[in-house]
Amino acid sequence: MGARQADRRKFLKGGAALAGGLTLGAVEPALGQTPAADGFIKGNEELVLYGERSRFVTSVRIPHAPGGRPSPDAYGKYFHIAAPLQDSVGTITPSSLHFVGTTRGAFIPDIDPQEHRLMIHGMVDRPLVFTMADLKRLPSETRPHFIECAGNRSRSRYKTVQETHGMTSCAEWTGVPLSLLLKEAGVKGGASWIVAEGSEEVKGASSIPMAKAMDDCLVAYGMNGEAVRPQNGFPLRLLVPGFEGIFNSKYLRRIKVVDRYYMTYNDYGHLNRRDDQVGAALGMLIGPKSVITFPSGGQQLPDRGFYEVSGLAWSGGGAIRRVEVSTDGGRRWADAEIRGTAHRMAHTRFSFQWTWDGQETELLSRCTDETGQVQPTRSQIAEFFGERADDESFRVRGMDNSIQPWRVASDGSVHNAIT
């Protein structure tokens, strides 16, 4: 072996040792990933049966209670579980990190897919009952869509983007278009709504306009290339793209076609709307929303210089058409770059090239969707309701899609700038 080759190997070994010396602390191995003495992971049954992530990757969900309810509560139940948006890359949330909304009951239903049935009845010509095998024989579609809980909102006490915005996730969903099933059943004239019900202990049904049901709703059995996870509705859930998360019924077992809006368990007292069809149709769609995930609250910039600002944007009104970023507290705005394809009702990744001068500043983002809606500031929302955003009693009503400010301190630490 030549001297040059020997020197090269010595350099590589030294580089590896240096890299190891820069770690902040020892990381416990993930399940099934025991490092061997030679530096390689030993193969085992866990890795063969269902792949594990690297032991150096530690992103996890956190218990979250947007309305102030303890999580876990007095009964030991987690109200919500928030996704780690600060660690996200791309637009798809891994199934194991997807946020989880409250299950209507004490436990997640343990459903045998061979026994599960979906019934469609009410104002139809032919009431139908589908098995899972029946549904999987039908033409399917695969689409990326976000789901967001109505409680996803920023408050001054929240420190990280996981706390302010972690109740949204985006997955690739596979299933049968609801319109296909409704057409097969034959919707009768005068039918204008559907009521969708899951298999939870408390039958948390949701009313959905027929126009939406016949447009882009999906009866989904697949999530990110595998079966829907139990926490997210196994074996079957309803996807209502762009609508508040509570309308996306999990453990879907029944759809009733009706001629009017029904105030269901999920709807009552939840959306602050009038108890009629006009009022019911208001507020279902999630307005345009974006958030910078890097740099964001709780993160640290090591020094002044170049950074790629990155974040996510989404809207119930369709695809994101524009994202703007301000690096001076909103005085000036510049277009960010949309990364990849901006799909309808899906998370869209954006980035912006920024050179930080080391001075304290605020970072903000705002987006515009394909309908022309622009993400508002908290002040604009307050003004709409005749209030003041700087009033301690002010709270954004309904869905909160206001612009999120992050304050970058002169020492590089990043903080929630909502006061």
> Which CATH number covers residue 398?
2.60.40.650
The answer on 409 and 261 residing in a single domain is no
DSSP run (H or E) holding 306: strand 305-314
Per-residue pLDDT, 51: 85
The answer on 174 and 302 residing in a single domain is no
DSSP run (H or E) holding 280: helix 277-281
The answer on 259 and 186 residing in a single domain is yes
The answer on 192 and 232 residing in a single domain is yes
The answer on 256 and 231 residing in a single domain is yes
The answer on 188 and 328 residing in a single domain is no
How far apart CA 336 and CA 333 sit, in angstroms, is: 9
> Which CATH number covers residue 111?
3.90.420.10
Residue closest to 329 by CA, chosen among 239, 406, 223, 409: 406
DSSP character for 96? G
Domain presence at residue 82: no
Last residue of a domain, one of 244, 261, 281: 281
The answer on 343 and 230 residing in a single domain is no
Domain presence at residue 39: no
The residue with tokens 């343990």 is 110
Measured in whole angstroms, the distance separating CA 355 from the mean position of its chain's CA atoms is: 29
How many residues are recorded in the chain? Answer: 419
Cα dihedral 243/247/252/257 (nearest 10): -90
For 165, list phi and psi in degrees, rounded to 5.
-135, 10
Q: Which domain holds residue 216?
A: 95-281
Last residue of a domain, one of 235, 254, 281: 281
Per-residue pLDDT, 34: 55
Domain presence at residue 35: no
Q: What is the mean pLDDT of each run of 10 residues along the chain (419 residues)?
A: 43 35 40 56 71 90 78 76 96 97 77 98 98 98 96 92 97 98 98 94 84 97 97 96 93 96 70 50 81 98 98 97 98 97 98 98 98 92 72 71 97 95
The answer on 149 and 109 residing in a single domain is yes
Which distant-in-sequence residues (6+ apart) come within 8 Å of 193 by Cβ? 207, 208, 209, 210, 257, 258, 259, 260, 261, 262, 277
Exposure of 204 in the CB half-sphere (CA atoms within 13 A): 21
SS3 of residue 335 by DSSP: strand
The answer on 276 and 380 residing in a single domain is no
Per-residue pLDDT, 419: 82
The answer on 295 and 217 residing in a single domain is no
Q: What is the reported pTM?
A: 0.86
Domain presence at residue 231: yes
Last residue of a domain, one of 246, 281, 316: 281
Residue closest to 81 by CA, chosen among 107, 54, 99: 99
Domain presence at residue 354: yes
For 182, list phi and psi in degrees, rounded to 5.
-65, -40
The answer on 265 and 138 residing in a single domain is yes
Per-residue pLDDT, 11: 35
Exposure of 178 in the CB half-sphere (CA atoms within 13 A): 33
The answer on 317 and 214 residing in a single domain is no
Number of structural domains found in the chain: 2
Domain presence at residue 316: yes
The residue with tokens 């409250």 is 102
